[in-house]
Amino acid sequence: MGVVMKSRPVLVIYLWALVWVLAPLPSLNAQPTPTLEASTSHERENEVPTILVVGDSISAAYGIQREEGWVALLESRLGPEGAHVINASVSGETTAGGVARLPALLDHDPDLVIIELGGNDGLRGYPIQRIRANLLDMTQTVIEAGATPLIVGMQIPPNYGPRYTDAFRDTFAEVATTTSSAFVPFFLENVATDGDLMQDDGIHPTAEAQPLLVDIIWPFIEKLLSDS
C-alpha cells in the first residue's frame, strides 16, 4: 500500500510526541478491558512460547484495524509454530496501570513480556523516580514469574527541557541495566518524525508504519526466543 504524501507544518514533528500515546481525552478513563487474544488460531501447542505485550495505544493499534497493528503483524511473521501472542495493551495506559494489571496478566504464563509503557507518564510530566520505580517493579515481577522481559524505550520532545527529557530517555536503559534485561532504545525511531507515517491526527502511526515497528523490535524478539 503506498503512502500518500501530505503537506504538514514543521511543528507536527513535535506535536506527535505531545499526545501520540494518548487516546482522546473523553475515553481515557473509559477504556474497556482489552480482549486478550492471539491474532490467529484459538489453540496452540503447549511447547510454543507465549509473548505477552503490555503497552499503550502504540501497541493497541489505535486508529487502525487491530489486525493491521504491529502486534498482529508480529504474530503473522512468527507464524503459528513461532509463538502465541497476547496483546494486553490499552490506549492511555501508564506505568502505574501496568503495575496494577500485570500480576493478573501473568496468569497466562508468558515466556516473553514486552513492556511498552512510560510514554504517557513522560508526556504528563510525572516524576522520573516514579516512572523508574514502576518500570523496575514490572520488570522484576516478570522475572520473578519466570518470564523474560523486553523493555521498550520511549522519548519525549525537547520542549520538556533537557533535564527532564534526558532523564526520561535514560530511565528505560537504567532499568534494563539494573535488571539485566533486553532493551529497545526507541521504538518509534524514523517513524515519529516522518509526517507521512503518522495518521491524519498527527498523533498515531499509520497502518503503513506498523511493519516498520515490527522491523525495529524483531531482532530483539528473535534473539530472546532463540536464547530461551
CB 195 within 8 A of CB 159: no
Beta bridge partners of 86: 52
**Catalytic site residue 42?**
no
Cell 503506498: give the residue.
Answer: 2
The grid cell for 181 is 534485561
Enumerate residues 6+ apart whose C-beta is below 8 A from 109. Answer: 50
Catalytic-role residue among 109, 196, 200, 201: 201
**Catalytic site residue 108?**
no
Q: Where are the beta strands (DSSP E) in 11-132?
A: 50-55, 84-87, 112-116
Catalytic-role residue among 39, 89, 181, 204: 204
Catalytic-role residue among 39, 56, 57, 89: 57
Among the listed residues 182, 156, 150, the one whose alpha carbon sits nearest the alpha carbon of residue 168: 156
**Catalytic site residue 204?**
yes
Cα gap 23→204, rounded to integer Å = 9
Active-site positions read: 57, 201, 204
